[in-house]
């Protein structure tokens, strides 16, 4: 999820409001480009399907991270096959979201397809900003018969990342989750093992519980040496909310009582479990750098790359960078594992479902050509190349490839995806995120107690969502 700074980049010729109640509405009209290629008796090929769109340049925007960079490296191959070029704009996470919202609200149609976090999907659908992918998928002139997403994609992930209210709006660009990063070389150091066991009474090992995580952070916290036990993402930014969710879920809490992200439901964000999770999370600040309240994912990733932190929780699409010897001093020294558990909770092993999805705006000037590129990128060969280049695929067959199995972080990502939980994608999801970012920030900075912060968040969520989201834990 993190980025390495704001970039605006065009790649050519390289190597790809509704309320809580659900209102039925007609899908928005979609702009159309050149007429689809007429059907003939021969088999479907990408070259034939793309012939009417040769010379088109597709404009896309997304987050400046290895998955998008890897897509860019594949775009030249698509152009050779089709004559369709790609112009990619890359920005920091929040900026990429804001750029898209400005374009969609203005209806200018700057982007032919967009890459956006799935928490935005309900808002896009409710405002008629994106069209169902079936408009193209069901067109025999565009549909590659060999592409069968109902078989090739992990259905639970696809339907949370790219579906809304029972309808598919796209395909996963990335299937993201967060897991444990730690310094394997330090964990296996005999001197460190002996000292830790003498102090804590049990062997130094990969933390399997949050207490063990805290103990390891305390043991390795050596601020005089500018080395820190952990590093939390305490900045008032989406990163803070995302990171805390891992602890919240582990402690048996959640934001709302729902089964899928597109549902509205009772609010439980201020439950005793949630309060305990925030108290624990705040406690990790004592083992973090002194300016941790200024950090988001870029900053803590850089700390790990520089060899200045023992353990942290980070995204799978950022792991490529920490294992890249050209970018990281700790490449080859890292270990990766699923999140610790909270033994007092029944939650067990958990993770979070997150992802960026391919979407075609209603105002796209070249929707058919955009679909052809998206469909091509979902193919096995492209998904494999993108994943090996830092992507995060939703195709289980890619995870089974021998080259993927060799990745040091592949198993941790796959295991976490298997137990990952959904988060809200309702139209108000971005506002829910804003409420929690604000209150979590106040809790970490000492402006409020964890309980007071979550009570306020619960009240504000209830005010935002209304009758579909009653408070399970009333605020006095």
Q: What is the largest CA-CA distance in the chain?
A: 76
DSSP 298-335: HHHHHHHHTT-BSEEEEEGGGHHHHT-TTT-TTTTSEE
User: Among 210, 203, 200, which residue's Cα sits nearest to residue 187?
Assistant: 203
456 vs 248, 272, 441, 449, 476, CA distance in Å? 17, 14, 13, 11, 11
Name the pLDDT band for 170 (thresholds 50, 70, 90). Answer: very high
Q: What is the mean pLDDT of residues 41-53?
A: 93
pLDDT at 2 over 70: no
Check residues 36 and 444 and name the one with the higher pLDDT. Answer: 444
Please indicate, yes or no, whether residues 75 and 96 belong to a single structural domain of this protein: yes
Structural domain ending residue among the three candidates 368, 385, 407? 407
For 87-133, how does the pLDDT look when each residue is reduced to its tens digit (9 = 90+)? 999 999 999 999 999 999 999 999 999 999 999 999 999 999 999 99
Structural domain contains residue 30: no
CA atoms of 151 and 384, how far apart (whole Å):
17
**Residue 374 belongs to domain with CATH number:** 3.40.190.10
CA dihedral 267, 271, 274, 279 (to 10 degrees): 140
Asked whether 83 and 50 are in contact (CB, 8 A), the reply is yes
Structural domain contains residue 403: yes
Please indicate, yes or no, whether residues 250 and 389 belong to a single structural domain of this protein: no
Which run of H or E residues covers position 192? helix 190-200
Q: What is the mean pLDDT of residues 182-195?
A: 98
Domain enclosing residue 268, as ranges: 178-352
Structural domain ending residue among the three candidates 382, 407, 432? 407
> What's the chain's Rg over C-alpha atoms?
23
pTM of the model: 0.88
pLDDT computed for residue 296 by the predictor: 95
Over the chain, what is the mean pLDDT?
92
End-to-end CA distance of the chain: give it in Å, rounded.
Answer: 37
Please indicate, yes or no, whether residues 105 and 191 belong to a single structural domain of this protein: no
Sign of the CA dihedral with 364 first, then 121, 294, and 179 last: negative
Q: Which residue has the tokens 């002996």?
A: 194
Structural domain ending residue among the three candidates 337, 352, 367? 352
Please indicate, yes or no, whether residues 52 and 190 belong to a single structural domain of this protein: no
Asked whether 71 and 386 are in contact (CB, 8 A), the reply is yes
Please indicate, yes or no, whether residues 257 and 201 belong to a single structural domain of this protein: yes
Asked whether 119 and 429 are in contact (CB, 8 A), the reply is yes
Classified as helix, coil or strand, 158 is helix
Q: Say how many domains are in the chain.
A: 2
CA angle, 184 then 384 then 312, to 5°: 25
pLDDT computed for residue 42 by the predictor: 85
CA atoms of 324 and 135, how far apart (whole Å):
40
């Amino acid at each position: 999820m993190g980025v390495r700074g704001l970039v605006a980049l065009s790649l050519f010729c390289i190597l790809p409001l509704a309320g809580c109640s659900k209102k039925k509405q007609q899908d928005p009209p979609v702009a159309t480009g050149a007429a689809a290629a007429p059907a003939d008796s021969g088999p479907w090929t990408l070259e034939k399907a793309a012939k009417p769109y040769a010379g088109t340049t597709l404009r896309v925007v997304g987050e400046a991270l290895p998955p998008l960079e890897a897509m860019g490296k594949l775009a030249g191959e698509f152009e050779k096959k089709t004559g369709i070029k790609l112009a990619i704009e890359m920005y920091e996470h929040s900026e990429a979201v804001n750029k898209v919202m400005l374009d969609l609200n203005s209806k200018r149609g700057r982007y032919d397809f967009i890459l956006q976090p799935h928490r935005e999907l309900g808002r896009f659908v409710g405002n008629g900003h994106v069209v169902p992918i079936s408009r193209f998928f069901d067109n025999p002139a565009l549909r590659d018969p060999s592409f069968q997403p109902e078989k090739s994609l992990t259905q639970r992930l696809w339907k949370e990342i790219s579906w809304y209210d029972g309808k598919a709006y796209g395909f996963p660009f990335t299937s993201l989750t967060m897991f444990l990063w730690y310094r394997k070389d330090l964990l296996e150091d005999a001197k460190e093992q002996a000292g830790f066991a003498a102090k804590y009474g049990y062997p130094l090992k990969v933390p399997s519980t949050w207490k063990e995580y805290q103990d390891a952070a305390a043991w390795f916290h050596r601020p005089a040496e500018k080395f820190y036990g952990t590093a939390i993402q305490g900045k008032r930014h989406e990163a803070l909310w995302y990171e805390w969710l891992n602890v919240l879920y582990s402690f048996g809490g959640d934001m709302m009582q729902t089964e899928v992200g597109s549902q509205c439901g009772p609010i439980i964000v201020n439950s005793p479990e949630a309060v305990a999770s925030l108290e624990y999370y705040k406690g990790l600040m004592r083992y973090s750098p002194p300016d941790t309240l200024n950090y988001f994912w870029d900053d803590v990733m850089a700390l790990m790359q520089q060899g200045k932190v023992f353990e942290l929780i980070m995204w799978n699409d950022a792991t490529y960078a920490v294992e890249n010897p050209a970018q990281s001093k700790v490449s080859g020294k890292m270990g990766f594992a699923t999140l610790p558990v909270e033994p007092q909770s029944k939650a067990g092993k958990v993770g979070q479902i997150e992802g960026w999805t391919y979407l075609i705006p209603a105002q796209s000037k070249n929707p058919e050509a955009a679909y052809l590129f998206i469909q091509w990128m979902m193919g096995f060969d492209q998904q494999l190349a993108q994943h090996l280049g830092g992507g995060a695929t939703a195709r289980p067959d890619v995870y089974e490839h021998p080259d993927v199995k060799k990745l040091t972080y592949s198993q941790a990502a796959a295991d976490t995806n298997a137990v990952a939980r959904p988060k809200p994608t309702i139209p108000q999801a971005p506002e829910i995120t804003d409420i929690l970012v604000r209150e979590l920030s106040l809790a970490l900075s000492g402006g409020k107690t964890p309980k007071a912060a979550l009570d306020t968040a619960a009240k504000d969520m209830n005010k935002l969502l209304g009758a579909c989201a009653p408070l399970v834990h009333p605020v006095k």
